[in-house]
Amino acid sequence: MSNWAIIFDVDGVLLELTRAEEELFFQPFASRIDANRLSRDWNSYKIRNDEEIVKEIVARYHLPARETEAITVEYLALLESELASRLKSERIAGAGELLAALAPTARLGIATANFRRAAELRLQQAGMWEAVAGLAHGADGGGHKSDILARAIAQAGVPAARVIFIGDNVSDVVAGLQNKAHFIGFSVDEARRRTLAAAGATKISASHEQTFTILKDMVRP
């Protein structure tokens, strides 16, 4: 696997997104607008990307444009503080072991719709950041998941045909297809796996033991 790059989505693939973590994202809005009115359905926003969602909410409620950066800074500081005290990032079963098994022979990275710093803080607490830090791309810079993955591929130093992207959302399937990368759809939820297959994912995993088996088969000479 030494000439392959394996790129992971974060939420649903490496980490669970807990309700407490989700609510932290909306907390900085509470001093500015009624944050309870904001949708917690990430797919309800025009672009499923933390940077874009902050911009969309700021524009929708006619807040000053400068609030976009202020809200982002406040959120990241809040997340760091909470992770240092009471908040716990939850690993997906087998994720740490998968990264450890792959790290010696492949270039690992992430392409997430979270802010890169948010992903770093959460993965760091879960003991998985170092494995992906060298090729870590997040919402920063905006765009759809396909844009984020494209930035990661550009840095990877290998052609897209040597990139494997592992994700759990339809937007991840689309990103893999648009970037001409290999794709593995992952979810512990059977209904989600069916959704990924219907969106075009031809390789599907229900556990990271299965993910590792699929990866070995994909890169076999």
CATH number where 201 lies: 3.40.50.1000
Looking at residues 143-148, what average pLDDT do you find? Answer: 98
Cβ neighbours of residue 184 closer than 8 Å, sequence gap 6 or more: 164, 165, 166, 167, 201, 203, 204, 205, 211, 214, 215
Question: Is residue 180 domain-shared with residue 208, that is, in the same domain?
Answer: yes
pTM for the complete prediction? 0.95
Tokens for 69, please give them. Answer: 């950066």
- The one-letter code for the residue type at 127 is G
Residue 143 structural domain: 5-16+89-218
Structure tokens at 135: 């090729």
Entry field: residues in the chain = 221
Q: Which of 161, 167, 138, 147 is nearest to 5 (CA)?
A: 161
In this structure, are 156 and 95 located in the same domain? yes
- State the chain's mean pLDDT as an integer: 96
Give the CA radius of gyration of the chain.
17
Are 209 and 184 in a shared domain?
yes
- Predicted confidence at residue 1, as pLDDT, reads 59
99, 195: one domain: yes
Q: In 3D, which of 136, 137, 126, 135 has the Cα closest to residue 94? A: 126
Split into its structural domains, the chain has a count of 2
pLDDT of 60 reads 97
- Does one domain contain both 115 and 209? yes
Task: For residues 14-29, give the mean pLDDT.
Answer: 96
Q: Residue 16: beta bridge partners?
A: 90
